[in-house]
Each structure stands twice: as structure tokens, then as C-alpha cells.
Amino acid sequence: MSSNISSGAKEIARAVNARECSAREVVEATLARIASVEPQVGAYLSVLEREARDGADALDARIASGERFPLAGVPLAVKDNMALEGTVTTCGSKMLERWVAPYTASAVRSMLAAGAIPVGKANMDEFAMGSSCENSALGVTRNPYDLERVPGGSSGGSAASVAAYEATIGLGSDTGGSIREPAAFCNLVGFKPTYGRISRYGLIAFASSLDQIGPLTRNVEDAALAYDAMAGFDPMDATSVDRAVEPTANALREDLQGVRIGVVKQFDTHKLGNDIDDVYDRALHDLEALGAEIVEVELPTADYGLATYYLIAPAECSSNLARFDGVRYGLRVDGNDVAEMNERSRAAGFGPEVKRRILIGTYALSSGYYDAYYVRAQKARTLVARDFAKAFESCDLIAAPATSSPAFRFKSKSDPYSMYLMDYYTIPMSLAGLPALSVPCGWVTPEGGERAMPLGLQLTAPLFAERALLSAAHAYERATMHASKHPMQIAEVTR
């Protein structure tokens, strides 16, 4: 077989389309890998063995009859907040533990149409609220680089599965950093396109004005292939953008000649510690060596990002999650009347972080407080977007850290605020709806740790400039190769 579990999507698709190997063989190799490492990694909430085999056989039959697919036979991990018809779609919550999706999300459907084969539904923080996967009510996912550390979140299962070669592409969703942060923690490329580029139809909503689907992959080219398959207008999503999509995978550059890269004055990396600061310094030098011009830009409202996000996201979540009332979806705990049934169902179905957000959001939206909190947060959001627009007058892309630290140990962020701080660098881009990605940029050994852990460089582009963004990330990746190796022997790279 000319492709194996460590091949990229392009190579797998080439081999399967050329019938050098079958999609069924790729799936069998992936299922065998899953069986051998899942006990340690725990990336999936469900493995779709039967569906993957049936899907592969159906694809092989179509290829035998002459059809070709851009992602033929590529094993796909689907975050468990995306509907896939006939599969349990839990959102990492007891509320939906047994809910079977009656239809397939548009983004997943696009990946299927391109020939990808879903092999499992990936673990996540409950309703995508969190930065470590520790808020999942249904399972523990470990970082394949060090099993004592978190994989990041909320798309932690998707990240861990791809880093451990249990899938080639992982689908994640990013509301304030949930693709970029786990990508950084697991040495992957994690790409959040412009808000509205990829349909949200069939993505269980957390904060609808921020949620965006995107890929987690082991290289930029795979991210571009997945983006090309999923991006585009969908009449089923009212916020989907009706605007032509330029293909990206065939336009990836090898240098950065003529590209102005902005470094944000307010994102001072000195405060992250010397070793982390060194990694980001080195990354800027590498960008310069590729021909980029580094310029300083300002985001004066950067420090307001977290406070703004943590009003808007809970406000939207309190409204979106009102539908889980014990009547229509998921868990029901009976009571003496409807109100008691609602109350008991929600008390039993939601975990502590989800309840906290619903309470904060309901408060921020309540009459008398609405103007003071929600409206002001919306105004601050506009200012953040304006800051970016201004910054992009003097640069083409912005380079920043993806996270303020590498992957941390389980239970080490016990108060919610310290967990929220993980998103300091990713939230401003989400508020402004901008396309942004994290690309591997080097290693640090955390204090008290024995193993070097990866860090991510976050690149951000103006609205709809996905092509320039992926292209620059590709040039950087090719020159640095920080992501050339992933943990094949899980037990060896961990204790």
C-alpha cells in the first residue's frame, strides 16, 4: 500500500484515486491504529467502525466506475457538536448523550462529497465551552505528546486524534479559539476561516455570531484541501456568506517576498517567560528570512477582548441552550409539572461550566442590565474590529502567539478565570470575524515538566483573505518544519 496512517490527505487521495490502495485499506489501517492508541489518548466519544467500512466500500465502488475525489479515502474525525445522520451527536454533554442526529451538517456533508471518510466523533468540552477538554461530561482526552497534559479545547478530541494518527483531518469549531488553541497544544495546523465562510448548518450552536467550523491537520496543505472542500455559500445558514471562494490548495507559496507582517505592540511576549519569548522571536526571524517585512501595529482594545467575549458568548449561549428543555431534544427528567420537568432536566443535563455561562448570559441580557453589559460589549466588539481594520492598513498579516503557554497539566486551571485567560490571544480575532490559524513554531519544556511541548504561531488575515493566510503559513511551515514529527509511539513519547 503506497499510503499509510502518517500520509497527508493529498497523498492518500492520490493513492486511492489511482487505485494503488483502496479506501477500505486506509480505513482498516486507521481503525487498527485507533484500537491500539485509544486506550491512552481517548480522542473519540464514538468510533464509527461500521459506517467507515461501509463508506469506504461505497467510495471504492465509485472510484472503480471512474469517479475521482479530492479527499478520496481521507480518514476524518468529526467534533461531536456536528450532526452526522444516524450517529449519536453528544456535544460532550449528558444532555445529548443519547441524541441521534437526524441529518448531516453541511460542512460534514461537503467533506463526505469530497471523499473523506468519518471514522469517529471526537470528544470536546461540553457545548464547546472550555480550553482543555476537561469540561467534557463524557470522557477524558489526553495530549499525545504527554498523557499527563490536556490536548486543549474545546476541539481537543479532534486535535488529539490527528496528532496521534487516528485521523488525517479533524473538524473543529472555533468560537473564541477552540480550533487554534488545541492545534497549538498538539503541534498541528488549526484554521478558523472568516466568519460565515463555512456553513454552520448542523453545528450545534454555542455563540452563533462567533461560531465557525474549520480543520485541524498535520500540515497546511491538508488544511487548505479541507477548506476548499467546505467553504462556500449555504442557503441553510442565514449567516453564510454569498461570495466567491478562491481555491487555496493550488496557490500555496514557498516564500514571503513582499508580505508585510504586523506584530502587535500590545501582545508583548516578554511576559510569557524567556523560553517562550525566544520561540516567538525566532519565528519572527524565520518570517523575515523568508522575505517578509516585519512592522509594528497596534491593537489598543486588545485587553478588552476577554471581557467582551465573556459577555457576548454567554449571552448567546443562554439563548441557544434554552431549547434543551427536556421536551424536544435529549435528556428528560420527569417532574410534577412542566416547570419542574424543565428544571430537573436542565439541572441533570448540564455541567457546571455550562450552567455558569447560562447564568451569566441570562443576567447580562435581563432588563435593566442589557444596556450596561450586552450593548456595551457589542460596542467594544465594534472597536476591536476597527482596530484590526486600522492595523491592516499597514500590514498584510498579523503574527501573534496562539496561546500564552504550552499544554498544561490536568486540573491545573481550577478557577474559571485562569482557564478563560488561555484565550487572550485568540479572542480578538474571533470578535472581529477574521480568518486566523495556528501553525507549529517550536518547543519549550514547561517548568517541572520533562518533555518538550509544542507552541503555535497565530497568523491572522483581513476578512476573506484565506488564500494569503494559508499561503504564508505554508511558506513558514516549509522553511521551519516544526510539525514534521508526531507521536507514533504514544507510550514512548509519554511516561
Q: Binding of ligand GLN at residue 177 (CB under 6 A)?
A: yes
What single DSSP character describes residue 487? Answer: -
Cβ proximity of 223 and 488 under 8 Å: no
Q: Binding of ligand GLN at residue 129 (CB under 6 A)?
A: yes
- Whether residue 178 lies in the annotated active site: yes
Q: Binding of ligand GLN at residue 146 (CB under 6 A)?
A: no
- Whether residue 154 lies in the annotated active site: yes
- Whether residue 411 lies in the annotated active site: no
Which is closer to ligand GLN, CB of 388 or CB of 420?
Answer: 420
Q: Binding of ligand GLN at residue 42 (CB under 6 A)?
A: no
Which is closer to ligand GLN, CB of 55 or CB of 202?
Answer: 202
Q: Which of 154, 161, 199, 405 is catalytic?
A: 154
- Among 3, 87, 141, 154, which residue interacts with ligand GLN (rule: CB under 6 A)? 154
DSSP-derived secondary structure for 176-217: SSTTHHHHHHTT-EEEE--TTSB--TTBPPSSTTT-EEEEEE
**Alpha carbon of residue 84 to chain centroid:** 18
Site string for ligand GLN, 297-336 (x = CB under 6 A): ----------------x-----------------------
Nearest residue to 435 (alpha-carbon basis) of 230, 180, 228, 202: 180
- Distance between CA 271 and CA 374 in Å, rounded? 31
Q: Binding of ligand GLN at residue 176 (CB under 6 A)?
A: yes
Q: Binding of ligand GLN at residue 432 (CB under 6 A)?
A: no
Q: Binding of ligand GLN at residue 423 (CB under 6 A)?
A: yes
Cβ proximity of 152 and 176 under 8 Å: no
- Among 178, 240, 308, 460, which residue interacts with ligand GLN (rule: CB under 6 A)? 178
- Residue 199, preceding peptide bond in cis (omega within 30° of 0): no
User: Strand, coil or helix: what is 190?
Assistant: strand
Q: Which stretch binds ligand GLN (CB under 6 A): 26-34, 129-137, 222-230, 344-352?
A: 129-137
CB of residue 318 vs ligand GLN: minimum separation in angstroms?
A: 13
- Distance between CA 82 and CA 63 in Å, rounded? 27
Q: Which stretch binds ligand GLN (CB under 6 A): 124-132, 238-246, 388-396, 450-458?
A: 124-132
Q: Which of 46, 158, 178, 199 is catalytic?
A: 178
Which pairs with CB-CB distance under 8 Å and at least 24 residues apart come from 52-55?
52/27, 52/117, 52/118, 52/119, 53/24, 53/27, 53/28, 55/23, 55/27, 55/112, 55/117, 55/118
Residue type present at position 373: Y
Q: Which of 10, 79, 121, 413 is catalytic?
A: 79
Cβ proximity of 296 and 284 under 8 Å: no
Q: Which stretch binds ligand GLN (CB under 6 A): 20-28, 100-108, 125-133, 485-493?
A: 125-133
CB of residue 357 vs ligand GLN: minimum separation in angstroms?
A: 8
210 grid coordinates: 462567533
Provide the Cα torsion 31, 60, 106, 321; round to 10°.
-20
Residues lying near ligand GLN in the complex (CB under 6 A) are found at 128-131, 154, 174-178, 206, 313, 423
Show which residues are catalytic: 79, 154, 178
